Each structure stands twice: as structure tokens, then as C-alpha cells.
A and B are shown apart, each in its own frame.
Chain A
Amino acid sequence: MPKLRVATVWFSGCSGCHMSFLDLDERLLEFAERAELAFSPIADVKEFPEDVDVVLIEGAVGNTEHLRELLEIRKKAKILVALGDCAVTGNVPSMRNPLPREEVLRAVYAKDDPPGLEEGEVPKLLPQALPLHAVVRVDFFLPGCPPPADRIWKFLRPLLFGEQPQLSGPDLKFG
């Protein structure tokens, strides 16, 4: 069986979901036997590749770059997974949603023309931080802030063996 091509992506999140993936600890070695990391912030490939089997996405869609990338990733990945509460519901980054974008940026940078107001050297902030399913079809939702490593493993391991993951009850808890 060829190795499963797995990608991980980081949008507007705190990286805690990625850290929880690394909390697989020794299970990472087992992961490496059956899967390869095709794209990830912890690896060096810069372009999202064409033939990805599973992509785990952390974070909400917060700016124009995330939006563009998400649409592209959806075309290239067979299974798209919302990893963690920010990706599933918007969670912490969406706490800014009731406020106008301009007000948030001006408050953070205490200036009239802060970065992110317009498309420039840094991407423009979207009016609201969105959960992934507001933009594209999501195949699996893996809640938690972050989802504990055991839950991530319970989800990933069957995929490594070509099986369908089954999550239920306490595995679907937020927070």
C-alpha cells in the first residue's frame, strides 16, 4: 500500500492544534511508517501539492490569503478535515466578528492606517473570521481546543489502514 499523503495547514489559530498533533509523541514514528507529510508548517515544501489524500486544517479563515488557499486546497485534497474548534466554529478568532475590521486593526496598532486594512505586503483581514465549512465542503470535523492527541490518533489511525474513522460521544466535545 502506498503511503498516505497527509498535509497540515495553519490558518487563523494559535498552533495549539498542531502542537496536539505533535503530542502523538512516539506514535509519530508509527505515523511516519504509513504516511508522509506532503505539506505542513513543520516541513519545508512551499507549494501545496496536487495529490494529497488527507489535509488537516487548523484555524479559522481570517484573511484573503487563507480564503484563496482554502479554495485551492479543496480542489487538491481528497479528504478535508477541520482540526479543532477554530476551524470547526470560528472559536477564538471569531470573537472579533461583532466588531468592524477597521476598529480591530486600529485598536491593535493604535494608528489610522494599520497593516491589513488594504491588500498590501500583508494580506487583508476579512470582515469576519469564518469556520471552514462557511467556505468549502468539509469532510470531517474534529472538535476540541485543541483536540487531544488521543482523539487525533483515533481519527488518523484508521485512515492509515484505509479504513473510515468512527468518532462519537466524548470524541466530539468542544473546548
Chain B
Amino acid sequence: MRQLRIPVTRIEGHGLITVHLGEDGRVREARFHVTEVRGFERFCLGRTLWEMPALTARICGICPVSHLLCSAKACDAILAVRIPRPAEKLRRLMNLGQIVQSHALSFFHLSSPDLLLGWDADPKVRNVFGVVAFDRKLALDGIRLRAFGQEIIEILGGKRIHPAWAVPGGVNNPLSEEGRDRIAAKLPEALRIAQDALSFYEEHMASWAEEIEHFGKFPSLFMSLVGPDGSWEHYGGRIRFVDAKRRIVADGLDPSRYQEYIGEAVETWSYLKFPYYKPLGYPEGMYRVGPLARLNCCERFGTKLADEALLRFRAVAEGKAVTASFHYHYARLIEILGALEKIQELLSDPEILSRRVRAEAGINELEGVGVHEAPRGTLFHHYWVDETGVIQRVNLIVSTGHNNLAMNRTVAQIAEHWLNGREITEGLLNRLEGGIRAYDPCLSCSVHAVGEMPLKVVLYGPDGEVIAERTRGI
């Protein structure tokens, strides 16, 4: 049996794909491995609740705001407070800024080299600087759009990466009038860039038909938060699952009771766990999260331009769920546009300048769950504390983890389609990575999570046959 090892670059983290071939040269199995772990669940124990937002932000430098906000929400639950309305609006504003910067990074800095320069381009130029040389305007647009999102974070939190701004009970600094005006002044350019990028994608879509068909196109469930009226949500709301036909499978689920419907499996060949929808079991309960899932789950976005785009997006699958993972890119661009529109709404709300931004309280509950939508999907922070607020136990389910099963399935699908005989082309290698990249996996985030989870360990013989299998339930 022959094995290919491909280090995956231009994703946020450390990953490896292995493809196992049978004697007949056909793909036997393909796997996406995550090769890094830092151990947050363990070393957070014994620290105080108040440190958690700033500490867990260090899980990830791409979406530190996700962890910061999700952690603050878990802490709010332990304080048993409802944070002041302006504080919630400010947190929303920061999260929208982060969605913009993170999606811009994914599309322009990491994926546009494939889309622009082609899957068979020389690896030496297939990066953001290659795009600079090829299409300076597009590269500059990407840089400026990402910078816009980062500036919102900086204006609110004083720092672009790892601001210690959200705290248990709210946020520690209001927004100044001058800060609001600075954001507002740059908004028109950001909106222009987002619309251009969306048109670029829609115009070129036909030329990526083969990739759209084989980069992870299969039925699965989709999960995300939705608002009380079923609209797109990123900070509050409840959990919804839809199937490939966009039929609602479960709705209004309480996010803090995630352990009742989400299970996590562990495989020895990856540091990343495999969450699944419990009622369907492992691995049948595969679901996807993130931009594609959020658009599939929601009824509407709730803003003008994004809702127009959402109609065109729905048309791709004739109103059913869009099951082609390639269209994560499409969904991401629509979300950027909608996030910008929502930023505009928040900036024109006078309450956004209010100085009532923090509720003070002590430890009132011994357990708290924070859930919100990070750029890559639903994020869960779950803490247990003692009476003094010292952390006793931590469970994290990170956005990228939810997509683990789907990413592995995608890798196998691509290998089956593009691997012909025994010749391994650069184009195949890059498509394998491109398939993973469509999910925009944040591997930096992915290497945590713990709890009582069912385990599955599979032992493979030299020919890849399963010789032993052991499962441990909860």
C-alpha cells in the first residue's frame, strides 16, 4: 500500500492529509490530520474566572475575538447577569468586525491564489504576494477589507489582536464618538469592496464547475444559531439543524444543553476531535457549521443587499440546502456584505455610545456555557467553578471541530475524482488542500475540547484492514 503525505499550507494551523491507496492504485482512504495540541483544557484549571476571556483568546490569533466573547458569555452565565443592552450591542459590533476580517483573510489572502492563478499554478507564486503581482487591485482590496475589520476591533478594544476588552458582565470600555465616526468613514469603501468581490465570484462561478461538483458535495446536516424569527444570527439565538433538503431537523435547541445533542468522538490519528449529531450517531451524524451552514439554516439575513444575494445563493440549489462545500466561499462573501450592513445599523443606533457597559456581580452559579457564532461556526465554552470562581473544569467545542467529519469526507471525494492511476500532480495536491481550505479551518482553535465523550479507536493492519475496533460510550 502506498501512502502520500501532504503538509497543508495556507490554512490557519497545522494539518496533514494522508491518502491510502490499495494495490489497484485506487484511493482506499483519505484523512485529514491535525498535528498540534496545546492543552488549554488542562492548564486553565486552577485559574480564576476573571482571567478566562483574555487567556482563552490566546487559543487563536485569527479569531481571538470569538474566544474572548464566547468566554465572556460563559462568565456572564456564572455571574447570572444579563449584561447592559449597550454592552451587547458593542460585543456584536466587535464580532461583526471580526467576521469581516476573518472572512477577508480566508478569501483574499488564503484562497484567492487558487481562484485567480489556477489550481495548477507554480507553488512559488501561489500566495498572496503572487496575487499582488497578478491583480494588484484585488490584492489591495483584500488587504483594506481585512484592515477595516481589524480597525473596528482596535478602536473598541485598543489592540488588533488579543484585546482584553470583553469581561464577565459586559465590556470594559464604551465606544467614543470619534471612534464611531472613524469606523463610519471607512464603511463605504468596505461595502464597495465586498460587492466587487461578490460579483467577481458570481461571474467566475461557471469556470469552477468541476471543483464545485467535487470539493465536498454531499448531503449532510447543517447547524447554526438562528434568531427568534429564524433570521441570521451570530451572537444570541438558539440552535437549529437542517438537512440537505433544508428541512428543519431540530429547532429552538437550548445552546447551553449542547451535550444532549452533540457527541464527540476521538481518533488516534488526529489531535482534532469529531463532533456528531447524537440522535444519528457516529459518524452518520455528520453536520457542517460556518458560513454555508448559517445561510442554509436561516430564513433571511435581515439586511437589504445580503438578502438579495441570499436569493441568488438559494437558487444555486433550487431552494434546498447548498451542499457543495466549495460554496463556503460564496457564503463567506455574502456574510461579509451582510455584516457590513449590520455594522452600519449599529453605528446609527444612538445607544452604541452609551457608557452603561458593564454589570457587576460575583459568583452566582457554579457552571456556565457561552455559545456564539465565530466566523467558522458555532463555538462553545463551558466552565465549572468553585465558590470563589476558581476554574474546576473546562470544555471547549471549537468551530472547526464540527466540520471535521465533513472535511475528511471532502478529502476522500477529491482524491477519488482527481487521482488517476499513480501520477500525483501538483493540481491534485493543491485541490486536496483547496478542498480543506474552503472550510477555512482554524486549526489553531481546533486543538482543545474535552468532556465525557464516546471514543472510537480503530486499529488498521498493514493492508489497511480493520483488525480491532473499540468503542467507549458515555
Q: List the interface of chain A (C-beta within 8 A of B).
A: 10, 12-20, 22-23, 25-26, 28-29, 32, 36-37, 40-46, 62-63, 65, 91-93, 95-96, 99, 103-105, 107-111, 113-116, 120-123, 125, 129, 145-146, 148-149
B147 within 8 A of A: yes
Neighbouring A residues of B269 by C-beta, 8 Å: 115, 120-122
- Whether A115 pairs with B37 at a CB distance below 8 angstroms is yes
Contact of A26 with B143 at beta-carbon distance under 8 Å, contacts A115-B37, A121-B33, A122-B33 already known: yes
- Whether A43 pairs with B127 at a CB distance below 8 angstroms is yes
- 25 A-B pairs within 8 Å (CB atoms) are namely A10-B14, A15-B61, A16-B62, A17-B61, A19-B161, A22-B146, A23-B147, A23-B150, A23-B160, A25-B147, A29-B136, A29-B140, A29-B143, A42-B9, A44-B9, A45-B9, A46-B9, A63-B35, A96-B42, A99-B42, A103-B42, A108-B450, A110-B455, A116-B37, A121-B269
- Whether B451 pairs with A105 at a CB distance below 8 angstroms is no
Neighbouring B residues of A17 by C-beta, 8 Å: 61
Neighbouring B residues of A96 by C-beta, 8 Å: 38-39, 42-43
Q: List the interface of chain B (C-beta within 8 A of A).
A: 6-7, 9-14, 18, 33-43, 45, 55, 58-62, 64, 105, 109-110, 113, 123-124, 126-129, 132-133, 136, 139-140, 143-144, 146-147, 150, 159-162, 266-271, 273, 430, 444, 448-453, 455, 457, 472
Neighbouring B residues of A26 by C-beta, 8 Å: 140, 143-144
Q: Is the interface of B mostly helix, strand, loop or mixed?
A: loop
- Closest chain-B Cβ to A54's Cβ sits at a distance in Å of 15
Of all chain B residues, the one with the shortest Cβ separation from A12 is: B38
Neighbouring B residues of A14 by C-beta, 8 Å: 58-61, 64, 444
Neighbouring A residues of B11 by C-beta, 8 Å: 41
Known: A28-B128, A115-B266. 9 other contacts (CB 8 A): A15-B61, A18-B61, A43-B129, A45-B9, A63-B36, A92-B55, A93-B38, A96-B39, A109-B266
Neighbouring B residues of A46 by C-beta, 8 Å: 6-7, 9, 123
Of all chain B residues, the one with the shortest Cβ separation from A43 is: B127
- Whether A44 pairs with B127 at a CB distance below 8 angstroms is yes
- Whether B64 pairs with A122 at a CB distance below 8 angstroms is no
- Whether A121 pairs with B143 at a CB distance below 8 angstroms is no
Contact of A111 with B266 at beta-carbon distance under 8 Å, contacts A29-B132, A41-B10 already known: yes
Among A17, A65, A92, find the residue whose CB has the most chain B CB atoms closer than 10 A: A92
- Whether B128 pairs with A116 at a CB distance below 8 angstroms is no
Of all chain A residues, the one with the shortest Cβ separation from B452 is: A110
- Whether B42 pairs with A16 at a CB distance below 8 angstroms is no
- Closest chain-B Cβ to A29's Cβ sits at a distance in Å of 6
Contact of A104 with B160 at beta-carbon distance under 8 Å, contacts A116-B271, A122-B271 already known: no
- Whether B38 pairs with A16 at a CB distance below 8 angstroms is no
Neighbouring B residues of A104 by C-beta, 8 Å: 39, 42-43
Instruction: Give Cα A123 to B42, complex, Å.
Output: 19
| A-B pairs, 7 with minimum CB distance | A16-B61, A43-B127, A44-B123, A107-B42, A121-B269, A104-B39, A95-B43
Instruction: Give Cα A25 to B148, complex, Å.
Output: 10
- Closest chain-B Cβ to A170's Cβ sits at a distance in Å of 15
Out of B6, B124, B270, name the residue touching A115 (CB < 8 Å).
Answer: B270
Instruction: Give Cα A63 to B36, complex, Å.
Output: 8
